[in-house]
């Protein structure tokens, strides 16, 4: 892959990916703030400034590596927004809402990018280079946000789906799930390397993409 091609791909993927990751974390912090925990606000994390959220490996290194390798999946993460779950009111329902806020932000962003795609399609048909560029970015934005939404909703601690499971589980099981968090990312890596993660994500992403495109009126 030539340098100019790499730069184009970095821009095409970087803009929607950074917004997807940053808004995901801000959504967690904002929901926690609304439910009584201002930890994220005091930490300066309720901001759209990506510098406050960037993780050198998860936000830059890994996505860039996956782009250069032409991976079928490009994902990453930001520095987790600090949340003191004991300060949420009510605690268990608060944990549930805070966990769901991040994936829901990705769902809304996927709809936004689908609308952008719909707006740019007439220009693409007319051969506009700008419209084609924006349409490509929109397609990537849809894919990235759907992937992050589905990935984070996997019921594996410390992913958001694991938090949802903790919030809904009986206290004894929730405590066990909390203790398993240290092994969660190892499980994710095994699923990724083994190809199981791809088999899980691909059909769900396909179904969600079709649904969102139909929602905004794209056949």
Number of neighbours of residue 214 by Cβ within 10 angstroms: 11
pLDDT for 192 equals: 76
Residue 157 pLDDT level (bands cut at 50, 70, 90)? confident
Please report the pLDDT score of residue 73 as a whole number: 67
Six-digit token string for 203: 């059909």
pTM of the full structure = 0.90
- As annotated, the active-site residues are 25
DSSP codes joined into one string, 48-108: --GGGT--IIIIIIHHHHHHHTT-S------PPPP--GGGSSSHHHHHHHHHHHHHHHHHH
Contacts of 108 (CB under 8 A, 6+ apart): none
Mean pLDDT rounded to a whole number for the chain: 89
**pLDDT higher than 60, residue 123:** yes
């Amino acid at each position: 892959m030539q340098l100019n091609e790499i730069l184009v791909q970095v821009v095409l993927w970087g803009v929607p990916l950074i917004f997807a990751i940053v808004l995901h974390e801000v959504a967690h912090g904002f929901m926690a703030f609304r439910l009584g925990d201002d930890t994220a606000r005091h930490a300066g994390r309720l901001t759209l400034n990506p510098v406050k959220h960037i993780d050198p490996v998860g936000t830059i290194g890994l996505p860039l590596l996956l782009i250069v390798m032409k991976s079928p999946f490009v994902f990453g993460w930001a520095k987790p927004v600090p949340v003191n779950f004991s300060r949420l009111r009510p605690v268990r329902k608060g944990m549930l809402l805070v966990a769901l806020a991040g994936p829901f932000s990705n769902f809304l962003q996927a709809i936004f990018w689908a609308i952008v795609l719909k707006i740019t399609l007439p220009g693409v048909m007319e051969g506009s280079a700008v419209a084609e560029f924006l349409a490509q970015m929109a397609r990537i934005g849809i894919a990235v946000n759907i992937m992050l939404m589905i990935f984070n909703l996997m019921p594996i601690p410390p992913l958001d789906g694991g938090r949802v499971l903790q919030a809904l589980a009986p206290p004894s099981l929730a405590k066990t799930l909390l203790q398993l968090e240290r092994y969660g990312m190892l499980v994710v890596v095994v699923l990724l390397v083994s190809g199981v993660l791809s088999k899980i994500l691909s059909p769900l992403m396909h179904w969600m993409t079709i649904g969102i495109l139909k929602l905004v009126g794209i056949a």
